[in-house]
């Protein structure tokens, strides 16, 4: 009996690596817990569901996809340890990051050292993926530094009925501050008067002192490009102070639910993902999959992860078996993925552009008359050069 058990155990140990090697193994480190988790965890959950569906349908090129998830709580040291573990122990052919930008530098270093491609799957796209792109870095995330501000300011200029006195609200993290600095420089060239810029540290128990400054500065428009919590709490503090101006913010995962919660006719969200109110067939597909999987997050928050799933599936499909990081990186450098309406156009990667060749924006707001979210401006394209 003992000999049989020993033989079974040895067989299991030998068979496990064989089955793991018989799959595309990819690894993700993300802020699944910790303060900014609300922005990242739903996207990771969507990606997990997407890949489980792919596996259930027979996998890719007849092989399963083995997704290894690691939590870094948005801490750079944990992200580094996770990246090392994924590369050396799990032998992943693709690293993914779904966390704060502070985790990027150490992960990029690990990825480059090992020659493994790194995909930013729900954190802001770093400039290294813009042309001329780093050969190993790729990004599917909707938001993009500088392009977002250009699109937002263009929308404000087009929409404003009186001279624009604009205020900015950023979170005290490098990318958010940098983007608001960029917008502050661009605004005067569009005929806008910059009246204030608040850089708000996370976390803040009361946003009113910051909102008071924006209100007192006389802003009639406020633009915020920051994690959702900063964007929406600044707006709510402004409204409680009696401020009646227009407010525009980036359309993060939470945007759709929040527009419906706030019911504020002068609150606009600008983004690159179509909201679920558009009722596309793919939205129904995501909602059904989320319901079936019994996820904790609303289906409306899953578009970003779903898009990452579409791209990963296409990239792995184009990678000949047996897969290696180099083969996958080569496949990713010549990829065109139909986002089926979730974005204004396809995600197209070339040798020099690992972001997308065109970035599309849509603007939504709550319409108090209709009691629903409405599209204010349809897809507007910006060439990425």
Q: Which residues bind other proteins (CB under 8 A)?
A: 32-35, 37-38, 40-42, 172, 198-210, 212-213, 228-229, 232-233, 236-237, 239-242, 254, 258, 261, 296-298, 301
Q: Cβ closer to other proteins: 80 or 300?
A: 300
By the 8 A CB rule, do 223 and 156 touch? yes
Of the candidates 35, 351, 27, which has an alpha carbon nearest to the alpha carbon of residue 202? 35
Sheet containing 137-139: order of strands? 64-71, 23-30, 94-98, 118-120, 137-139
Q: Cβ closer to other proteins: 63 or 213?
A: 213
Q: Cβ closer to other proteins: 113 or 240?
A: 240
3-state secondary structure (DSSP) of residue 26: strand
Going by their DSSP bridges, the two strands 372-383 and 358-367 should be labelled as: antiparallel
**Least CB distance to other proteins at residue 104 (A):** 20
Strand-pairing partners, residue 70, are 29
**Least CB distance to other proteins at residue 210 (A):** 6
Cα–Cα distance, 107 to 94 (Å, whole number): 12
By the 8 A CB rule, do 253 and 273 touch? no
By the 8 A CB rule, do 155 and 365 touch? no
Q: Cβ closer to other proteins: 33 or 61?
A: 33
**Least CB distance to other proteins at residue 277 (A):** 19
Q: Cβ closer to other proteins: 232 or 328?
A: 232
**Least CB distance to other proteins at residue 78 (A):** 13
Cα–Cα distance, 272 to 153 (Å, whole number): 15
Helices and strands (DSSP H and E) totals, the chain: 12, 14
Cα–Cα distance, 265 to 130 (Å, whole number): 35
**Least CB distance to other proteins at residue 112 (A):** 30
Q: Cβ closer to other proteins: 23 or 260?
A: 260
Q: Cβ closer to other proteins: 210 or 349?
A: 210
Of the candidates 127, 110, 176, which has an alpha carbon nearest to the alpha carbon of residue 354? 127
Q: Cβ closer to other proteins: 301 or 319?
A: 301
By the 8 A CB rule, do 204 and 229 touch? no
**Least CB distance to other proteins at residue 244 (A):** 12
**Least CB distance to other proteins at residue 10 (A):** 36
Instruction: Give CA torsion, residues 166, 167, 171, 173, to 10 deg.
Output: 70
Radius of gyration of the chain (CA): 22
Q: Cβ closer to other proteins: 205 or 281?
A: 205
3-state secondary structure (DSSP) of residue 169: strand
Q: Say which residues have a Cβ less than 8 Å from residue 233's Cβ, sequence separation at least 6.
A: 204, 207
Q: Cβ closer to other proteins: 172 or 326?
A: 172
**Least CB distance to other proteins at residue 287 (A):** 16
CA 325 to chain centre: 23
Cα–Cα distance, 14 to 223 (Å, whole number): 58
Residue 176: CA count within 13 A, CB half-sphere: 26
**Least CB distance to other proteins at residue 101 (A):** 17
3-state secondary structure (DSSP) of residue 300: helix
**Least CB distance to other proteins at residue 151 (A):** 25
């Amino acid at each position: 009996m003992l000999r049989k058990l020993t033989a079974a155990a040895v067989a299991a140990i030998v068979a496990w690596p064989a089955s793991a090697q018989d799959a595309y193994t990819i690894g993700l480190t993300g802020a699944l817990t910790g303060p900014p988790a609300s922005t990242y965890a739903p996207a990771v959950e969507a990606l997990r569901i997407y890949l489980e569906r792919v596996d259930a349908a027979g996998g890719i090129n007849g092989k399963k996809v083995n997704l290894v998830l690691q939590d870094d709580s948005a801490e750079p040291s944990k992200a580094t340890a996770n990246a090392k573990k994924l590369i050396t122990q799990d032998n992943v052919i693709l690293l993914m990051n779904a966390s704060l930008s502070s985790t990027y530098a150490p992960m990029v270093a690990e990825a480059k050292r090992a020659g493994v491609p790194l995909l930013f799957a729900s954190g802001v796209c770093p400039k290294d993926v813009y042309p001329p792109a780093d050969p190993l870095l790729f990004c599917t995330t909707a938001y993009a530094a500088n392009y977002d501000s250009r699109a937002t300011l263009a929308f404000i200029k087009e929409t404003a009925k009186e001279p624009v006195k604009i205020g900015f609200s950023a979170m005290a993290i490098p990318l958010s501050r940098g983007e608001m600095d960029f917008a502050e420089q661009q605004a005067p060239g569009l005929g806008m008067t910059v009246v204030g810029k608040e850089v708000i540290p996370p976390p803040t128990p009361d946003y009113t002192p910051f909102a008071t400054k924006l209100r007192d500065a006389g802003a009639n428009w406020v633009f915020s490009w920051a994690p959702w919590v900063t964007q929406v709490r600044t707006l709510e503090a402004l409204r409680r102070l009696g401020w009646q101006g227009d407010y525009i913010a980036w359309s993060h995962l939470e945007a759709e639910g929040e527009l419906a919660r706030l019911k504020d006719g002068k609150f606009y969200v600008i983004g690159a993902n179509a909201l679920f109110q558009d009722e596309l067939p793919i939205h129904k597909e995501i909602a059904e999959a989320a319901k079936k999987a019994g996820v904790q997050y609303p289906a409306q928050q899953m578009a970003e992860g779903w898009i990452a799933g579409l791209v990963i599936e296409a990239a792995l499909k184009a990678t000949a078996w047996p897969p290696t990081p180099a083969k996958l990186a080569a496949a990713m450098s010549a990829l065109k993925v139909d986002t089926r309406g979730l974005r204004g156009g396809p995600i197209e990667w070339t040798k020099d552009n690992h972001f997308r060749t065109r970035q599309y924006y849509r603007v939504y707001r709550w319409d108090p008359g209709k009691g629903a979210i409405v599209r204010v401006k349809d897809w507007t394209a910006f060439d990425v050069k």
